[in-house]
Amino acid sequence: MQTSTDIAARLGGQELRRIVYSEKDIAERVDIMGRAIGAHYPDDEPLLVIGLLKGSFIFLADLVRRIPRPLVVDFLGAASYGSATVSSGNVRLVYDPEAEIAGKHVLLVEDIIDSGNTVNRLVPKLRERGPRSLELCALLHKRLAPPLRLEPRWVGFEAPPEFLVGYGLDYSENYRGLPFIGSI
């Protein structure tokens, strides 16, 4: 088994303090969430799953394979961290979904809800496009944000107040490929 020092050296980043959620824990939780999402939506209506880039891409890939129904996947890019470990509060839209949203059930997939700035900025923009429904799914929720414009219907884990990396989450673009979630 690799130590956090081995992983940090390999990735050129900071040393991991601890593993917060193991690969096994994540896989089990994603399976449960996927089945719950599949049961929530009617089978005869289109489901559009929109992943928030870049952090959600690994979670999204695993999640959509666990949702037992047809769906369409698209992405939305927003940035607020840069190379810092605290959100700047300035959310920039860097990629807009190409899929038609009007009249569809839309599931927005987020890696982590921390400050709430990204969700609070994006939800009104998506609602303006006339989805039939809009729900939020987050792998991690720190419960630090002020009231959100859309509370997540599905949450993988309640996250500790630490800076987390792995399974898509990054620190200055490092650590995304780790199969677990750790703290730096």
CA distance 90 to 140: 21
Domain limits, the chain: 24-80+89-162
Is the four-CA dihedral 146, 127, 48, 50 of positive or negative sign?
negative
**pLDDT recorded at residue 9:** 47
Cα distances from 70 to residues 19, 45, 64, 104, 167, in angstroms, run 34, 9, 9, 13, 25
Q: Which residues of the chain register pLDDT less than 50?
A: 9, 84-85, 87-88
- Please list the active-site residues: 114
Cα distances from 103 to residues 28, 38, 50, 106, in angstroms, run 32, 18, 15, 9
Is the four-CA dihedral 151, 65, 31, 20 of positive or negative sign?
negative
Query: For the chain, what is the largest distance between any 2 Cα atoms, rounded to a whole number of angstroms?
Result: 50
Residue pLDDT, tens place only, 42-61: 877 879 999 998 999 999 99
> Which fold is adopted by the domain 24-80+89-162?
Rossmann fold (3.40.50)
Closest C-alpha to 157, from 140, 136, 137: 140
**pLDDT recorded at residue 184:** 92
**pLDDT recorded at residue 133:** 96
Q: Is the pTM of this model over 0.75?
A: yes
Conformation bin of residue 76: beta by default, left when phi > 0, alpha when psi is -120 to 50: beta
The tokens describing 9, both together, are 């050296």
